[in-house]
Structure 1
């Protein structure tokens, strides 16, 4: 008995040619996701050897060409360059006449909204800001991770539906971010994700120093549960010596960190103070215990400022 084959995505109407300017970790993954939705990557630009290898791996057969030529070939162009490089790139492309009227120009910066594309808009392009709230590895696993990933979407009102449709085609979930809120939105993501990596890496180093052979295996279940509890319950998920007001334990932590890893003391103190403030505000930390705890943190901060990193390492 014959089976009915699903339609080939390439047979769908209104498919777009896709170009990527900046073959970092993000651009090739997004282009590969659009390819799965039936769009056709036609050009990519990359400077470093790593970016060229990445493009060849995720977008095999797609030619590497200069940025202006990418725009010349594609209906939809992904500008996936570092935040600080984006303004000059957009201005340069517009000034050289590379931007075509009616061309969809998409940047993936979390910091900027659609206004950063104003020079291209004046040249007739359609500006979209689509920022995936995801960390990227530069490997095919990124394409899988886009399934269900939230995207911060900013665009002119008349392009809102088009922007959201592209996100859905990449497997993501569109979340509308007002232009004026983009820096705050991006700061929130960096605070949670980027700083998390630093904290976890420091924690693993300290566990190795304490003689733990497999710190990742030890931390995995603990951090997974902590993250799940925090996402479900917010501040109600706070546990540990700071939330309990165990000033003696916190003092011991500071002493050990100063002896074995002085570079972590400032971060520990900052996070402990922030945790204490939130625990107090939510009635979890008793005021009579908070006084001793905050005294320990203040004393630790004074010593940290008095000695400095160089004094701690002597």
Structure 2
């Protein structure tokens, strides 16, 4: 089979303007691929164009809830990547329509146009039997993709970190705002993974360096509890805070109250303060790479990637949460 050079190949990236998407577009552009970023608001995705040479990166309108727009974005592509996902439901953007039906729609379009190289980005912890709607919808999306496109590759990253992340930045914001931090899932284990490493894994899958039809689990070099990670945020930002572990039963009540408050205030509550009941359910399970995936080489290391640690990246963007910014000393306050 003739393998075309990257410059002769077009890769459609659904969700190309998001947190992970911009890193994926950069990784593909550096390899020489032509990139079609399929996003809901192309007018807000102009920042992607400088990531490649002139004309190499273009943005088109697509919404996973509208099959015709998905088909138009896939038509003519040599490979497709689906990055679209949401952390909480809002309006018509719910887990079923975006992460389950949306993934199915992308796979259906790929099957229709004969696109065999499809990379579906799911999440570590995707589980059809989970009590979390988020986790079940991710698993449903995976199943639909693998049923429709046999060669599809599924990547399941743990919580991702990077300058624009919603994990370390969120806790840094909470630590700055609150003298006491109630923490659900304090002993839940996480394996934070650098967004750049995930983007590189996706690009290598497009290159053909991942085994077709397989699911890879992507985690960073360290496993830590949520409490340890929040303690680290306090250390990096130079702030001493009282962290109070919250039992899951009480956390679910807290989530219900915050969901109601967010609804009654028409969504004006800061995102950092929002905790949903479904998110609490996710915290009841560890978010780490399985022993099976490690044994079978379905990891970053199996793709030839040495994962970057949080300590190497996080201080470089959390400095803005210190009292004196980049001029702050290491002294806690």
TM range (shorter): 0.3 to 0.5
Find the structure with the greater CA-based Rg: 1
Higher helix share: 1
Higher RCO (Cα < 8 Å, 6 or more apart): 2
TM score, norm. by length of structure 2 = 0.40
Higher strand share: 2
TM-score normalized by structure 1?
A: 0.42
